[in-house]
Structures are given as structure tokens and as C-alpha cells.
Amino acid sequence: MKSYKYYDLILGAYVCVLLCSNLIGPAKVSTVHVPLVGSITFMAGVLFFPISYIFGDILTEVYGYARDRRCVWAGFGALIFAAVMSYVIVHLPPAKFWASKQAAVEAIFGNTPRIVAASIIAFWCGSFVNSYVLARMKLWTGGRWLWTRVIGSTLCGELVDSGLFYTIAFWGSWTPAELLAVGATQYVLKSGWEILMTPVTYRIVGFLKRSEQEDYFDRDTDFTPFSLGVGEARMARALAQPGQ
């Protein structure tokens, strides 16, 4: 299996961003005033969660869908562990001198199981949609016009992510109008943030392609999300067959 200088570092950074945006981000709702637009209220994690999609774009563009798939599963496992850890810590009986702080701990880390499930499911589905669309568009465009697949995959992935999260987390608690309004706002904010970051994505992708000597095209990739393989063993067997 080909080794890379930066893949493991990117995987670690990807999981770090994902955990922080899902654990720290939901702890605060903020309202800011935007000129010509007015006041916008949003969960603070919106500012940082889209970075995970930028990582997904970079991983798929440089290393291919299969290696990004491994990162998504790593993030999925990390989110489940974080959810279990948060549940245990919140429900452990506090020491007497800590009792006054228990309410704050519950407020910050005590998300309901429904919201936790919505977050994990939305991340998993949205990330795979993002990676799949980018990999397919790279084949359709012959590797040209990186901006089209970076933006196109983000719009698709974030749509699935936002739609699933707010539907699963708040259906029945909010009215359909409230779900649509909040979900649409979050979708526009997250997608817009990634579109603004496209020049940065270009620079990082260019650096990694030169450094890693890799520009992966998913021509023979098995796009199932239920795998951790990268396909190189199958490729090696095919090359070893007579006449190949």
C-alpha cells in the first residue's frame, strides 16, 4: 500500500475538527448583525463544522473516495465514543463541592439522545454524499474545474446533512415552517462559508498533489460506504494476472 506523508495528519485534524464542532459548537447560540441582511441567529458550531467538509473535499480530490471513506468512519466512531462519554459524565453523581456546577455540565454536554442520533446520522450521510459527488464529478470533468466539484459536492452534502439533522432532531417539536426556516438558514451559512474557502481549498489541494505525487481518479472504486478498504489489494491482484 502506498504511503503518504500527510494523510495521517489530515485524518487526525479532520476528526479533531469534527469532535470540537459537535461538542463545543452546540453549547452556544449566537446572534450577529450583518449589514444589509439584519440579525442572524445560529448555533456557533456552524462556523466550524463546514471545515470537516473542506477536509472531505481535499481527501477525496487528492487521495480518492476510499481513503476519505476511512476518515468518515473514523469520525463516525469518534462521535459515537464522544456521545457515550458525554452521557456517562453527565449522569455520574457529582461530588458535594461540584453539585452547584452540575446544571452547567448538563446544559453544555447533556444533549438528548434524539439530537445526538440526528447529528451522527446527518454527518455520516452528508459526508458520503459530499465525497461521492466530488469523486464522480472529477471523472466527468476529467480532473478540470476543481471549483465546480468542490462547490457542487458541498451543496449536495450540506443539503443532506441539514435536511436530515433538523428533521430527525426537531420534527414534531417545531412546526414545518420553523424547520424550513432554520434549516435553510443553516444550509446557506454552511454552504456559503465553504464557497468562500474555495481559494484556500485550491492551495491546499495543489500543495498536497505536488508533495504526495498523487491525483487520484476513482475509475475502479467500489463506492459502497460499508467498507474500509482502499482497493489497492484488488488492483495488485489484477496487475499480477497474466496478460495484464
**Which tens digit of pLDDT belongs to each residue from 211-220?**
999 999 999 9
Q: Distance between CA 237 and CA 197 in Å, rounded?
A: 40
pLDDT given at position 242:
46
Inside any domain, residue 28: yes
pLDDT given at position 10:
96
Q: Using the structure block, give the residue that is written with the C-alpha cell 495543489.
A: 206
Predicted TM-score (pTM) of this structure: 0.90
pLDDT given at position 28:
79
Other beta carbons within 10 angstroms of residue 66's beta carbon come to 22
Does 233 score more than 60 pLDDT? no
Does 178 score more than 60 pLDDT? yes
Percent of the chain with pLDDT over 70: 93
The total number of structural domains that make up the chain: 1
Give the CA angle between residues 200, 119, 85 to the nearest 5°.
105
What rounded mean pLDDT belongs to the chain? 89
What's the mean pLDDT in 96-101? 94
Does 107 score more than 50 pLDDT? yes
pLDDT given at position 1:
67
Inside any domain, residue 75: yes
Q: Distance between CA 111 and CA 195 in Å, rounded?
A: 30
Tell me whether strands 29-34 and 38-43 are parallel, antiparallel or unpaired. Answer: antiparallel
Q: Considering only CA atoms, which of 20, 83, 89 is closest in space to residue 49?
A: 20
Which one-letter DSSP state was computed for residue 171? B
Give the CA angle between residues 70, 120, 42 to the nearest 5°.
120
Q: What is the CATH number of the domain that holds 35?
A: 1.10.1760
pLDDT given at position 232:
55
Inside any domain, residue 243: no
pLDDT given at position 212:
96
pLDDT given at position 235:
45
Q: Domain range spanning residue 90? A: 7-217+231-237
What's the mean pLDDT in 76-102? 94
Percent of the chain with pLDDT over 90: 66
Q: Distance between CA 29 and CA 150 in Å, rounded?
A: 28
Inside any domain, residue 222: no
Q: Distance between CA 139 and CA 8 in Å, rounded?
A: 25
What's the mean pLDDT in 156-162? 95
Inside any domain, residue 244: no
- Grid cell in block for residue 106: 448538563
Inside any domain, residue 200: yes
Inside any domain, residue 1: no
Residues in CB range of 102: below 8 A, 6 or more apart = 94
Burial of 4 (0-12, 13-18, 19+ CB in 10 A): middle
pLDDT given at position 244:
37
**Which tens digit of pLDDT belongs to each residue from 35-78?**
887 887 777 788 888 899 999 999 999 999 999 999 999 999 99
Q: Distance between CA 198 and CA 213 in Å, rounded?
A: 22
